[in-house]
Amino acid sequence: MNLPFGRGRTSPRTERDPWTWLFGALMVVAVGIVLGTQYVAPDKRVLAVMAAVVVLGIAWRLDLVSGIGFMLLLLPFPRSNVYGSTNVAFILLLLILWFLRVSQGYAARPRRTALDAPMIALLIAFLISFYNVESKNLRYALANYATLLAGVSLYYLIVQNVRTSKDLERIHGFQLITITVVCLIAVFELNHPGGVLIPGWIDFHATTGEALNTRNIRVGGPFFDFELLSEFCAISTMLVLFHLLRARSAARRVMMAGLLMLVTFIQFATVTRGGIIALIIGMFFLVWLLRKRVRFVPLVLTITTAVALLGMMNWYVANYTRSGDLLKRVLDPATFELEHGMPLNRGKLWTQAFERMMRHPIIGHGPYYDVERGTTFWYWPHNGYLFIGNLVGIIGLVIYVWLLVLMWRQTKPGTRNYDDPDYANAFLVFAHAQLFVFLVDQFKIDFMRNSIYTLHVFVMWGVFAATAAIVREQRSDGTLAAVS
């Protein structure tokens, strides 16, 4: 069978036969006709199919790492369909392509990961939870389960194909582009609340503020959720900071510093306390991880400069944009008030979420959070752990915590050196810090309430697992020495 790629990591073949030439010519004509008709009378479904074909074509002609990277660029911008979203279709196409390459011997055989058991167990727990799904919510539950399957598939696509430090660095490059695009779209939303970026696809009609959308705008970007965008920015800050610290050229330092400022700006524009508090705690944790490399005087100067810059950023956002004052919300005494051992602004929500979870404590309510409650309604839990407990019960919550514990152990860095010659070994320190930020922030927000953001979490988990596997294999081969 002639395939347009070579075995292992060889480059695509260059020889061309008449049939290949004819097929290419027909494809060019077909694409030209479709593009012409869509320019005159665009159809959303046709555009979605064309995007899927482009993803498949790129992944087919190039290596799967590039295909996955291109997929990461599209994840924040799905189109809704009866089966969930176009993201589900794109991931399925990549999965089929990977299976094809493995079966033909053009890709490495799958390897086991440390998270296999909890991943499979969690899928089973969600499947069993369908027993308690009401018939009116079945289609929503099926769509959410399809998103979960897509997330797990994306996790395995990353783990099975990102096998070297070079592969990891390439994936990070795509992630940095995604971070930039997400933040730039959030800037557009801040300046055009209620506006439309791409008609019929990306709009911000749900964005609201005060005084006819002229004050206290809280941007959600392509996630359409300011709390999740805040968490995304907090986790992304760690990745951008890692690249800034490892930058060797002046141009790259300027570029990474600019991206860091952009992410920080959007963090303030979300006006969300949970994300910035988790990031601050995470920064202290990162300093502790790197404590052997940290000197006291430079640390004090860095913290002082950072606090001053953050204060200036907050002042600018609060006074010269349509957004609000984040630090004012963080320093509000109510932020630190407790009620029955819980934050005052979360106590009622968490108590109600626990009450709802106890209605089906064993297997949960199923993969759809129905807010209807007779003549009243249930609040969102605003807690990722309680949210999982509501969906799949105590058994599913235990499995989820098991997954997180294993991931925490896998990402524990063997070195505390961000400029380690080996890229994966150096990144593991920041991966551990990213996971820490995620675990802290999930006490204030629930990532699975948003089908777009859910896939980004599985991407993060996949990158963590791939990094840990690369470092572990290098140490077992003797190419990387363990450093205490």
pLDDT digits (tens, 9 = 90+) for 211-227: 667 788 899 999 999 99
Among candidate residues 436, 438, 423, the one with its CA nearest the CA of residue 242: 423
**Entry pTM:** 0.86
pLDDT digits (tens, 9 = 90+) for 25-57: 666 666 676 666 655 565 555 666 666 666 566
How many CB atoms neighbour CB 336 within 10 A?
10
From the centroid of its chain, how far is CA 382? 18
Q: How far apart are CA 191 and CA 264, in angstroms?
A: 17
pLDDT digits (tens, 9 = 90+) for 153-191: 999 999 999 999 999 999 999 999 999 999 999 999 999
How many CB atoms neighbour CB 177 within 10 A?
14
Mean pLDDT, residues 278-294: 90
Highest mean pLDDT among 85-89, 106-110, 311-315: 311-315
Mean pLDDT, residues 225-246: 95
Percent over 90 (pLDDT), the chain: 51
pLDDT digits (tens, 9 = 90+) for 381-425: 999 999 999 999 999 999 999 999 999 999 998 777 888 889 999
Is the pLDDT confidence value at 479 over 70? no
Give the residue, 23 or 348, on which the prediction is more confident: 348
Give the pLDDT confidence score for residue 45 in this predicted structure: 59
Single-letter code of the amino acid located at 278: A
Give the pLDDT confidence score for residue 24 in this predicted structure: 64
- Averaged pLDDT score across all residues of the chain: 85
Is the pLDDT confidence value at 243 over 80? yes
Give the residue, 16 or 249, on which the prediction is more confident: 249
Give the residue, 41 or 462, on which the prediction is more confident: 462
pLDDT digits (tens, 9 = 90+) for 144-155: 999 999 999 999
- The dihedral region occupied by 379, where left means phi > 0, alpha psi between -120 and 50, and beta the remainder, is beta
Among candidate residues 221, 241, 239, the one with its CA nearest the CA of residue 230: 221
User: Can you list the positions of beta strands (E) in 157-241?
Assistant: 196-198, 202-203
pLDDT digits (tens, 9 = 90+) for 420-452: 889 999 999 999 999 999 999 999 999 999 889
What is the H or E stretch that residue 248 is in? none
